[in-house]
Structure 1
Amino acid sequence: MEATIKLSDLFKIIKGHAFLIIAITVVSISIAAIISYFVLTPIYTADTQILVNQKNEKRNQYVASSQIDADLQLINTYNVVIKSPLILSKVIEKLDLDITPEKLTEQITILNTSNSQVFTVHVEDTKASRAVEISNTIADIFKDEIPALMKVDNINILSYAKLSENPNAAKPNKLLNMGIAAIIGLMLGIGIAILIETLDTRIKTEQDIVEILDLPIIGLVSPIIDKKTINFAKETNKLSIQSRRVRRI
């Protein structure tokens, strides 16, 4: 037999287990906050923009257009060169970093908008100042090395990364993590409440009987009281009446 829950029943379950649902949600948010603020390491980012633009004063419109296409195609090559050990080894040596080129590669992302001659060296690091230094140093060394590597003169630094006075960590996003935890906690609390109600097969009210047997209720049996309780009630009633008479006298 298939068990189904009506929307009205769901609201009743949520209302009946509101404390449980709220408690689980609060615990989830608290755990997310603790992890975000005290466990996860903050990650800072820095971006340096590089412009690819071939210098050629004696070029007409068609030559310029073809040259731009060539520059755009070269960007993919430059992306590989930037993340190569040749460039990164010199960055590590210049900044005296305790890291291998392979590990440093994992911190670097090359961003490029479609059909744009500008690409961005995006660096992530646990220190904001170091992220800025790595990003700018990569751009400088790349600009110095690329003429000898590819015999080109089309690299210019469009903008350097700058260190703000109060840098904000890009990761983790604390509010987002807590929001996701709140949703998960709420869903988990409702799920547990539904599970409790589903597993609880006890008959608590007359409505439960109607739902199970699909029959109307034609009568109710009053609570059965034993003789001792009845006698005690009678004696109590007599004492109460006698005390009232005494007060009247």
Structure 2
Amino acid sequence: MEIELKDYLAILRKRIWLIVIVVLIACVSTAAISFYWMKPVYGASTKLIVNKSADFQGLDKIDLNSLNANIRLINTYKEIIKTPAVLDKVAAKYADLHLTPDQLSAKLQVQASNDSQVMTISAEDYSLDQAVRIVNAVAVVFQEEIPTIMKVDNVAILSEAKAAEHPAPIKPNKTLNVAIAFVVSLMVSVGIIFLLEYLDDTVKTEKDVEEYLGVPTLVTIMKTKQLDFNDNNTNANTMQKVVGEKSYASVNQ
């Protein structure tokens, strides 16, 4: 049995109330959680540049091989930053952060652009000041420890993290959360409607009879309610009363 587009639209129109209820509940719940339940998360970042110490002695010392070597070192440095060799010293030196090395590692992200000597250390926390202190502490300790670890002094801090006067949280993205809830709930409600329609094998219309049995419908019996009988009895009583009054009037005349 082929189903046309108008049949799909008719199925959706028949249970449009289900779509409205599911989408409304999902969007309202998501908005309430995002705006009133989830704590805002703030982010801070600092930038480091990886460059050989000799490079600062003159432009004649800079060559393509040197730059490529520095870029390849960044992948190594990204791993070193989140190791106990650095984070243990951060936790010990900056005890006022009240964070263990594992907690520091969970809050940190290290990124670097392709073909770039610049490396970005980011941290997320419920407090912007705490996030700023974390990234600055990690950057300072990493710069101090890298000569001991790698036997080279080629890391410089380009910019320190600073707390903004009016910071905006990076999480949660309230608008995005509501939009995702809308799309997902819409898809789920539509799926539920088509599932209910697929499981429903009852015959409801003359068209269903013809499709399932292959014969035309000759007679239909309308479904009646008790109220219909009451209305019919009232109408019948009213008609009898009117006829009786007319008969009485004719006799008197």
Q: Give the TM-score of the pair, scaled to structure 2.
A: 0.81
CA distance in 1, matches of 2:23, 2:212: 33
Aligned to 1:236: 238
Aligned to 1:55: 53
Aligned to 2:25: 27
Aligned to 1:119: 119
Q: Would you say the 8 A contact 2:51–2:154 is kept in 1?
A: yes
Say yes or no: does 1:36 pair with 2:34. yes
Which residues of structure 1 form unaligned runs of 5+? none
Change (3 A) 1:50 1:197: same
Deviation, 1:208, is: 2.3
Which residue identity is paired with 1:80?
E
Which residue identity is paired with 1:212?
Y
Q: Deviations over 1:130-149 (max 9, x none)?
A: 11111112112222232344
Which residue identity is paired with 2:206?
E
Change (3 A) 1:232 1:52: closer
CA distance in 2, matches of 1:231, 1:179: 56
Deviates more, 1:195-204 or 1:171-180: 195-204
Deviation, 1:243, is: 5.4
Say yes or no: does 1:200 pair with 2:195. no
Q: Any residues of structure 2 matched to 1:1-249 within 5 Å, and which?
A: 5-56=3-54, 57=57, 60=60, 64-92=63-91, 93-220=93-220, 233-242=235-244
CA distance in 2, matches of 1:201, 1:65: 74
Which residues of structure 2 form unaligned runs of 5+? none
Q: Which has the higher helix share?
A: 2
Q: Deviations over 1:168-211 (max 9, x none)?
A: 22222222221111122112222222333333333332222222
Deviation, 1:34, is: 2.9
SS at match of 1:152: coil
Give the aligned CA root-mean-square deviation in angstroms. 3.2
Q: Would you say the 8 A contact 2:97–2:130 is kept in 1?
A: no
Count of residue pairs the alignment pairs up: 244
Which residue identity is paired with 1:239?
K
Change (3 A) 1:183 1:58: closer
Deviation, 1:84, is: 2.4
Q: Deviations over 1:210-246 (max 9, x none)?
A: 2222333345457799xx9878754432323455789
Identity of aligned residues (%): 35
Deviates more, 1:215-224 or 1:110-119: 215-224
Change (3 A) 1:244 1:182: farther
CA distance in 2, matches of 1:231, 1:173: 64
Q: Deviations over 1:49-87 (max 9, x none)?
A: 1011223335647x6222212212222232233222232
